[in-house]
C-alpha cells in the first residue's frame, strides 16, 4: 500500500508517466492502457516506504511494457509507428514551434530504437539525471550516456 | 562557415560529451576542458545549438502529445487515497459495530430527465443542486448541506454534449452515495449513482469494492471528453454560472 505522500507524488507524476508511456508505445491508446496498468500495479503491489515514487513508477511502467511486448511478440511493429496527435497543433503556439516541426521531430523520434527513445525522453523531456535513468531503465550509467548521445545523434541526422 | 556534418572520427564520443554537457553531467575538470573546446570549435558550437533546439522540439512535441490523463486513472488514484482515510466523520461517529458484517452496494444508472425519486434512495433536490453549483472540488473534507447530509464535489469535466458534469459524494448517517450529475439547461441531472452502505466501521471508512465505483468511473471514462478541470478553471466556470 502506498502512503498518502506517495500517492500524492504519483498523482503529480501522471503526465510525465503518460509521456513516458507514449515514448514506449508510440500509440496514444496503448499509452493510456499502459498508464492505467501502471497505476493499478503500483497501487496493488505498493512500494517500499523509502522508494522514490517517480523512479519506481517509471520502472514498473517499463517492465509492464516489456512484458506486453514479449507476450505480443510485435516489438518491431511499434518501432515504425509515428504518432501525431491533434493536440500538437493546439499546443504548438505556446512553444513557438510550428506544427510541421513538431510532427517531424515526433516522427523522427518514433524511428529510434525504443531503448534510445526512452532514455532521451527521460533526460531531455522529463529532466531526469543520468543516475536516475540508470535506475529507472536498469542499465549502467555509461549505457545511459551512450543511448542519450546516440538518440540525439540520430535525431540530428533525421532532422537536418 | 562551419560544416556540422564534418565531425571528427570520434564523433560519437564527441556527441556523448555534448550530451553530457547539455544535461549537466560533466564534472568540473571535464566541464572546463569541454567549454574550452567549444570556444575554439564553431562546428561543435553549431552542433550544440542543433541538439538544444531538437531537445526543445522534442519537449514541445511530447508535451503536446500528452496534455491530459484519463479521468479513470485520476479517479482510481483518488479512490485509493480516500479508501485509506478514516474520514467519514458523521457516518463513523454514529457507528459502534466492531465486527465486519456486510457491505451493500446499489448502483443506479439514470438517463437524462429521469425521475430519481426512490431510486437507490437518492434524490436530487435544491440543496444538493445548490452545492453542485457553488462548491469547488476537493480531495478531502465535507460541506454540510443540511442537518443530515454532507457533500463533497470530487471533480468537474466536460461531457460529449458540451455540458459540464461533476462527480460528487454525499454522506448521510452510514449511507454514502457517489455519482455524477450533469448540467441540463439550468439544472443538474443525475447520470449515475452508486450507493454504499457500510456496516463495518471498526477500521474506519472503507470503500466496498472496486465494482461499485467502477460504475461511476466507467461512466466518466465514457462521457468525459477532456481531463478534469483544474482548480482555477473550475473556479472560473463556477463564477460564470456554468455557461
Residues in chain B: 243
The residues in A 2-41 lying below 8 A from B, measured between CB atoms, are 2, 4, 7-8, 10-11, 14-15, 18-19, 21-23, 28, 31-32, 35-36, 39-40
Q: Which domains does chain A have, with CATH numbers?
A: 1-81 (1.10.1740)
In a domain, B2, yes or no: no
How far does Cα A64 stand from its chain's mean position? 12
Q: Of B45, B65, B85, which residue constitutes the final position of a domain? A: B65
Report pLDDT for B195: 67
Angle at the Cα of B118 (from B117 to B124), degrees rounded to 5? 40
Calculate the dihedral angle through the C-alpha atoms of A3, A9, A15, A21, rounding to the nearest 10 degrees.
-60
In a domain, B3, yes or no: no
Report pLDDT for B96: 33
Interchain contact A141–B (C-beta under 8 A)? no
d(CA B213, CA B221): 12
Q: Do B61 and A43 touch (CB under 8 A)?
A: no
Task: Indicate the residue of B65, B69, B78 with minimum beta-carbon distance to A88.
Answer: B65
In a domain, B229, yes or no: yes
* B179 and B98 within one domain: yes
Q: Of B46, B65, B84, which residue constitutes the final position of a domain? A: B65
- pLDDT (tens digit, 9 = 90+) per residue, B152-182? 888 888 888 888 999 888 877 656 778 889 9
The residues in B 39-68 lying below 8 A from A, measured between CB atoms, are 47, 50-51, 54-68
Burial class (CB in 10 A: 0-12, 13-18, 19+), B9: exposed
Task: Indicate the residue of A7, A40, A83 with minimum beta-carbon distance to B65.
Answer: A83
d(CA A59, CA A53): 10
In a domain, B4, yes or no: no
Interchain contact B80–A (C-beta under 8 A)? yes
Q: Do B61 and A88 touch (CB under 8 A)?
A: yes
Between the two ends of chain B, the Cα-to-Cα distance in Å is 58
In a domain, B1, yes or no: no
Q: Do A88 and B81 touch (CB under 8 A)?
A: no
Task: Indicate the residue of B55, B65, B76 with minimum beta-carbon distance to A22.
Answer: B65
* B92 and B24 within one domain: no
Percent of chain B past pLDDT 70, that is, above it, reads 68
* B198 and B167 within one domain: yes
d(CA A153, CA A135): 23
The cell numbers describing B230, all together, are 483544474
Report pLDDT for B168: 87
| pLDDT bucket at B143, cuts 50 / 70 / 90 | confident
Q: In 3-state terms, what secondary structure has residue A140?
A: coil
Q: Do A40 and B76 touch (CB under 8 A)?
A: yes
* B45 and B107 within one domain: no
Contacts 24+ apart (CB under 8 A), B158-162: B158/B224, B158/B225, B158/B226, B159/B223, B159/B224, B159/B225, B160/B223, B160/B225
pLDDT in tens, chain A (160 residues): 788 888 888 988 999 999 999 988 888 888 999 999 999 999 888 888 888 899 999 999 998 988 887 776 544 444 434 333 333 233 333 456 778 888 899 999 999 998 899 999 999 999 999 999 998 888 888 999 999 999 999 999 998 8
| Distance between B129 CA and the closest CA of chain A, angstroms | 29
Cβ neighbours of B126 (radius 10 Å): 9
Report pLDDT for B52: 94
* B177 and B81 within one domain: yes
Task: Indicate the residue of A39, A125, A148 with minimum beta-carbon distance to B73.
Answer: A39
Contact of B112 with B183, CB cutoff 8 Å: no
* B223 and B186 within one domain: yes
Interchain contact B6–A (C-beta under 8 A)? no
The residues in B 110-149 lying below 8 A from A, measured between CB atoms, are none
Residues in chain A: 160
Domain that residue B20 falls in: 11-65
Q: Do A109 and B11 touch (CB under 8 A)?
A: no
Interchain contact B23–A (C-beta under 8 A)? yes
* B203 and B116 within one domain: yes
* B76 and B61 within one domain: no
Domain count, chain B: 2
In a domain, B108, yes or no: yes
In a domain, B5, yes or no: no
Which residues in chain B have Cβ-Cβ distances shorter than 8 Å to A109? 58, 61
* B108 and B216 within one domain: yes
- pLDDT (tens digit, 9 = 90+) per residue, B77-95? 888 877 654 433 333 333 3
The residue of chain A nearest to residue B24, with distances taken between CA atoms, is A129
* B146 and B80 within one domain: yes
* B225 and B107 within one domain: yes
The cell numbers describing B231, all together, are 482548480
d(CA B72, CA B68): 11
Q: In 3-state terms, what secondary structure has residue A97?
A: coil
* B91 and B56 within one domain: no
SS (H, E, C) A39-91: HHHHHHHCCCCCCCHHHHHHHHHHHHHHHHHHHHCCHHHHHCCCCCCCHHHHH
Q: Of B42, B65, B88, which residue constitutes the final position of a domain? A: B65
Amino acid at each position: 500500500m502506498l502512503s498518502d505522500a506517495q500517492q500524492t507524488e504519483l498523482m503529480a507524476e501522471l503526465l510525465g508517466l503518460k509521456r513516458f508511456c507514449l515514448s514506449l508505445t508510440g500509440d496514444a491508446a496503448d499509452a493510456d492502457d499502459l498508464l492505467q496498468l501502471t497505476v493499478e500495479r503500483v497501487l496493488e503491489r505498493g512500494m517500499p516506504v523509502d522508494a522514490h515514487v517517480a523512479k519506481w513508477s517509471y520502472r514498473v511502467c517499463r517492465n509492464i511494457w516489456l512484458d506486453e511486448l514479449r507476450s505480443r511478440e510485435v516489438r518491431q511493429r511499434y518501432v515504425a509507428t509515428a504518432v501525431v496527435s491533434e493536440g500538437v497543433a493546439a499546443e504548438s503556439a505556446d512553444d513557438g514551434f510550428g506544427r510541421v516541426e513538431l510532427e517531424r521531430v515526433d516522427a523522427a523520434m518514433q524511428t529510434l530504437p525504443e531503448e534510445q527513445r526512452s532514455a532521451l525522453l527521460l533526460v531531455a523531456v522529463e529532466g531526469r539525471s543520468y543516475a536516475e535513468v540508470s535506475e529507472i531503465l536498469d542499465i549502467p550509467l555509461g549505457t545511459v550516456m551512450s543511448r542519450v548521445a546516440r538518440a540525439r545523434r540520430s535525431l540530428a541526422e533525421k532532422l537536418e | 562557415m562551419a560544416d556540422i556534418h564534418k565531425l571528427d572520427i570520434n564523433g560519437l564520443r564527441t556527441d556523448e560529451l555534448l550530451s553530457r554537457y547539455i544535461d549537466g553531467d560533466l564534472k568540473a575538470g571535464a566541464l572546463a576542458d569541454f567549454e574550452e573546446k567549444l570556444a575554439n570549435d564553431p562546428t561543435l558550437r553549431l552542433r550544440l545549438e542543433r541538439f538544444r533546439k531538437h531537445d526543445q522540439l522534442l519537449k514541445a512535441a511530447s508535451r503536446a502529445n500528452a496534455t491530459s490523463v484519463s479521468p479513470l486513472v485520476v479517479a482510481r488514484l483518488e479512490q485509493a487515497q480516500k479508501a485509506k482515510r478514516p474520514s467519514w466523520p458523521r457516518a463513523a461517529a454514529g457507528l459502534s459495530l466492531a465486527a465486519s458484517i456486510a457491505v451493500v452496494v446499489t448502483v443506479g444508472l439514470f438517463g437524462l430527465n429521469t425521475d430519481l425519486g426512490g431510486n437507490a434512495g437518492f434524490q436530487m433536490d435544491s440543496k444538493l443542486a445548490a452545492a453542485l453549483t457553488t462548491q469547488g472540488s476537493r480531495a478531502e473534507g465535507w460541506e454540510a448541506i443540511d442537518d443530515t447530509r454532507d457533500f463533497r464535489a470530487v471533480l468537474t469535466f466536460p461531457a460529449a454534449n458540451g455540458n459540464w458534469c461533476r462527480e460528487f459524494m454525499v454522506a448521510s448517517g452510514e449511507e454514502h452515495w457517489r455519482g455524477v450529475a450533469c448540467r441540463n439547461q439550468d439544472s443538474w441531472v443525475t447520470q449515475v449513482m452508486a450507493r454504499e452502505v457500510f456496516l463495518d466501521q471498526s477500521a474506519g471508512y472503507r470503500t466496498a469494492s472496486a465494482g461499485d465505483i467502477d460504475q461511476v468511473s466507467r461512466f466518466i471514462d465514457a462521457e468525459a471528453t477532456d481531463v478534469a478541470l483544474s482548480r482555477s478553471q473550475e473556479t472560473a466556470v463556477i463564477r460564470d454560472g456554468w455557461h
